[in-house]
Each structure stands twice: as C-alpha cells, then as structure tokens.
C-alpha cells in the first residue's frame, strides 16, 4: 500500500486537517490574521475563533470570532 504525502492530497484535505488548529491567513490587502480554523466552505470562506490581527508579526488587535471572505484570501498556513 502506498502512503499518501501532502503532495498527493487535495487542497480541501489540507484544510480539513487544519480544522480546530491554529492557522495564519493573509489577505490580498496584506493584513494577516491568526486563529483557530473552525470551518470553511467551497469558496474558502473561513471562520476563525480566538482570532488576532497581526501587524509586523505582532498582535495588533484581539478580535475573537471572525469570518474571512475566501476571494480576499491569499494564503492559509498551519
């Protein structure tokens, strides 16, 4: 049996594995958010809990729960 690597998986598999874990999300306008990914949809709209807005990799503002629109997201990193 061949073991699958991250390269062999689909993008949604990556996101499903990230649920209930901390992620870093960068938006097209350059702003970054860190929080626990609770859910996402086919448009990559993302809902974070315990979210923080970062500036220069430092916490600028604690936000709590946030919804980030998928078409504004540049990347999601675990």
**pLDDT tens across 17-65, in order?**
999 999 999 999 999 999 999 999 999 999 999 999 999 999 999 999 9
**Rg of the Cα trace of the chain?**
13
List phi, psi (to 5°) of 23.
-135, 160
CATH of the domain spanning 9-77: 2.30.30.100
Query: Per the structure block, which two tokens stand in for 54?
Result: 């970062």
List phi, psi (to 5°) of 43.
-90, 5
Mean pLDDT of 6-27: 88
Provide the whole-model pTM. 0.86
Whether 9 shows a pLDDT value over 60: the answer reads: yes
CB contact set of 3 (below 8 Å; sequence gap of 6+): none
The residue extents of the domains of the chain are: 9-77
């Amino acid at each position: 049996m061949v073991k699958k690597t991250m390269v062999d998986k689909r993008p949604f598999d990556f996101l499903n594995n990230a649920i209930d874990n901390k992620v870093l999300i960068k938006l097209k306008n350059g702003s970054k958010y860190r929080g626990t990914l609770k859910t996402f949809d086919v448009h990559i709209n993302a809902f974070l809990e315990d979210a923080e807005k970062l500036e220069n990799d430092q916490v600028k503002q604690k936000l709590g729960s946030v919804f980030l629109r998928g078409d504004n997201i540049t990347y999601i990193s675990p």
